[in-house]
Structure 1
Amino acid sequence: MTRFAYVNGCFQPHADAMIHIEDRGFQFADAIYEVWSVRDGELMDADGHFARLERSLRELRISNPKTEAGYRLVIAELLRRNRVRDGLVYLQISRGRARRDHAFPAATTRPTVVMTAKRLDHAAAQRRADAGVAVISLPDLRWGRRDIKTVNLLPNVLAKQAAAEAGAAEAWLVDASGQVTEGASTNAWIVTADGVLVTRQADHDILHGITRARIMRRAQAMGYTVEERSFSIEEAQTAREAFMTSATSFVTPIVRIDDRPVGNGAPGSVAVELRSAYLELI
């Protein structure tokens, strides 16, 4: 089956889709992106992702080329053409095509809009969650505005590769003071011995995860106490539980950090309960 992409107003065969070599997203990473998980044909946490999309564009002073309704129409058609019922939609918007110069181009420059959709194996993701995953820790080398969802992901790519080479699913990034910020593509959580859920405060140091926010609200509704604060790798290794959240991993238990087991080395009951509650809620 032919896959389709959407590029600047046109649906094209995925293999033929292209942007100009002087697109600023390609040359400067002057672009933002957003990702929606799709389950049974529906976008998960759609409103939160659209709000974050608008915020990212505003922070980089890129004009929004479409309304939310316009995006939804394109996404619906993209899912239909690619026959995706369970998967994800990827959207990228750059400042556009312009002669290479670091300063912003003319205000009339049209942003570049690219969208793709692909299927995901949710059953395989569930098996990973059932078994739990391992993470490693690495220094956080990223820029100071991680709250903006830009395509400037080279440090994240290197961290993910290091994790893969170590046989781990994720890398937890550690700041100069020895505190965990987040994962290379996920938000980081622990559960203390007293059953308190802890995740880094939403400031410039982490991406404001939409799934993170939903899990926080859901956990509080279920009676859990949630603290937004930093924690060290050592605290995480001695915690009752650890887990990560994202739009594609939902809630995934972590059973090992840097070759040390977390808790009893098996998925914790809180993470398992939260994953089930999140999927039921969605």
Structure 2
Amino acid sequence: MTVTDFLSNDDVAHWSWQVLPKFLGAIVILLCTNWVGNFSVSVSKRLLKRIEPTLQRFLLQVLKIVIWVVGIIAALNTIGIETTTLVAIVGAAGLAVGLALQNSLSHLAAGILLISFRHFEVGDTIEGGGVSGTVDSIGLFSTTIITGDNVRITIPNSQLFSGTLKNQTVLGIRRVDIRIHIGDRALQPTFQDLLAIAERHPKVLTHPKAVGQVVSIGAHSTVLSLKPWCQSSDYDQVRSEILYNVKAYLDQSTQPD
């Protein structure tokens, strides 16, 4: 049988008239799916411009995948392929993958919540998951922190989200609490001198004002507390230098015999 004879066959012609429109319809559906996907992503990107970039990219990717899945199923239906079984298989496969990756999915969910609630941002100094340091990057599955001794640590987001999280810089300023044992030295002059040491530090804020308190009075020593305020970024330096100056003062002052 020649090609001409094959094409002139009534059954083939009938089949062609039935199938070709379906294939053309499927192609049109896929083209429309591509257009709808790109248009939806473009519009959503403008609507989500205030959302953290990492979460924004994730949501846009999910949106595009969902649109393409719907489009492909519609195209297969148009051709005449039964998609009920296919959907069931995909659902079962998705469930199996979800169970296998449940830890990763918990990290993903925690990452989305952390980014949405803005518990911290890149550049903040935080303490959580058993470590402390400056946030270097926030991903959907994990967060990277640079410690004070310049070590890069990656922490699963679920570990940060489920535990206690301290953000040491988000409020801008911090109070430096220092407890000092002054022995049997005279209370009033020692109290005033130590408070003056804290207030004179160039990075201690004038508002809120530094305060001093008597914490306790014992048989052999009185305990004082200094509470100056500083910028969060200056906390370690201010604390260290005030402690140094306080120790120098106590070494120079005398206690009664």
- The normalised TM-score by structure 2 is 0.23
Give 1 or 2: higher strand fraction. Answer: 1
* Greater radius of gyration (CA): 2
> Which structure's residues are more often helix, by fraction?
2
TM-score (normalised: structure 1): 0.21
